[in-house]
Chain A
Amino acid sequence: MKKPDFVYVTYIATTPEQVWRALVDTDVTRKYWADPGEGCARVNVSDWMPGSRWEHQRVDESRTVDIVGKVVESDPPRRLVITWARPADAADEAKHSRVAFDIEPYGNGLVRLTVAHDELADDPQMFAGISGGWPKVLSNLKTLLETGQPLPH
């Protein structure tokens, strides 16, 4: 792995299985994953097998796909690695960045979730969107798993 551009860490009072489910199960994802700029929820759609495609979709009538990529590694409930690109760049893997989710039991009933995003350097616009987006997604995820309630957004 190259030097990450961003690393985000959150400690959540839950189980690794619940965190994994929150990342891949659209019924859970839609409760906490929203775009900072726009109101509607987002989900990640895939069969989550290595080599498969995944899509980041809006949960509205348009079902617009904003981000696409491939599943690189899938080791439930420990590690998920995906590539990340605009739909227009889906076929050009040189333009894909990479996101690694690591889920580790931390003791005292806590799980440490680390999100590392790398290979973004050539895309300042994506860089800006992502640096605002991940902290929000992760703090919403923590709130949902610890309280059962998503934040009112």
Chain B
Amino acid sequence: MDIDKVFKALADPSRRRLLDLLHRENGQTLTALSEHMDMTRQAVTQHLQLLEEANLVAIVWQGREKLHYLNPVPLHEIHDRWIGKFERSRLGALRDLKKKLEGGDDEKA
């Protein structure tokens, strides 16, 4: 998988919003996702296509329903590439502190 595709897919607030929606509830249909997006169904389809090409979204067919799942494996690879084992607990402590001070909304972070 091409890491450029992952960063390009993430470089758009609507696509990050779609990932947030799947993080909250995994395995949603296009129809369910479109309800939360302020754009046409066609535009949502295109964003999901880019996320799928970046392997950030995985598809499962359930009968005739196409379900979208958040696939965090490419993000884990990025995480492992730049974050060392011994930094993780300190970074976790910093994240917790920041969340506590700021009220903990991921999209503001």
The answer for the CA separation of A10 and B77 in the assembled complex, in Å, is 10
Residues of A in contact (CB 8 Å), total: 21
Interface hit among B9-17, B37-45, B68-76: B68-76
The answer for the CA separation of A107 and B95 in the assembled complex, in Å, is 40
| Residues from chain A with Cβ under 8 Å of B77 in the complex | 139, 142
B72's closest neighbor in chain A, by CB?
Answer: A135
Contact flag A11-B76 (CB < 8 Å), given A4-B60, A114-B58, A152-B85: no
- The A interface is mostly helix, strand or loop, or mixed, namely mixed
| Residues from chain B with Cβ under 8 Å of A116 in the complex | 60
Q: A7-B27, A139-B77 are in contact. List 8 more A-B contacts (CB 8 A).
A: A3-B67, A6-B26, A7-B26, A8-B58, A10-B73, A135-B76, A136-B76, A142-B77
CB distance from A146 to the nearest CB of B (A): 11
Q: Which of A9, A134, A151, A153 contacts B55 (CB 8 A)?
A: A9
The answer for the CA separation of A62 and B27 in the assembled complex, in Å, is 38
- The B interface is mostly helix, strand or loop, or mixed, namely mixed
From 125 to 144 in chain A, residues with beta carbon under 8 angstroms from any chain B beta carbon are: 134-136, 138-139, 142-143
CB distance from B81 to the nearest CB of A (A): 10
The answer for the CA separation of A135 and B71 in the assembled complex, in Å, is 8
Instruction: Decide yes or no whether B87 CB sits under 8 A from chain A.
Output: no
Tell me whether A7 and B69 are in contact (CB under 8 A).
yes
The answer for the CA separation of A143 and B76 in the assembled complex, in Å, is 12
The answer for the CA separation of A5 and B25 in the assembled complex, in Å, is 9
From 65 to 109 in chain B, residues with beta carbon under 8 angstroms from any chain A beta carbon are: 67, 69, 71-73, 75-77, 80, 85
| Residues from chain A with Cβ under 8 Å of B80 in the complex | 139, 143, 151
The answer for the CA separation of A7 and B62 in the assembled complex, in Å, is 13
B27's closest neighbor in chain A, by CB?
Answer: A3
| Residues from chain A with Cβ under 8 Å of B85 in the complex | 152-153
| Residues from chain B with Cβ under 8 Å of A3 in the complex | 27, 60, 62, 67
Most chain B CB inside 10 Å of its own CB: which residue of A4, A9, A135: A9
| Residues from chain B with Cβ under 8 Å of A6 in the complex | 26, 69
Query: CB-defined interface of A99-114 with B at 8 Å, one 1/0 digit per residue?
Result: 0000000000000001
The answer for the CA separation of A142 and B77 in the assembled complex, in Å, is 9
A113's closest neighbor in chain B, by CB?
Answer: B73
Tell me whether A139 and B69 are in contact (CB under 8 A).
no
A134's closest neighbor in chain B, by CB?
Answer: B73
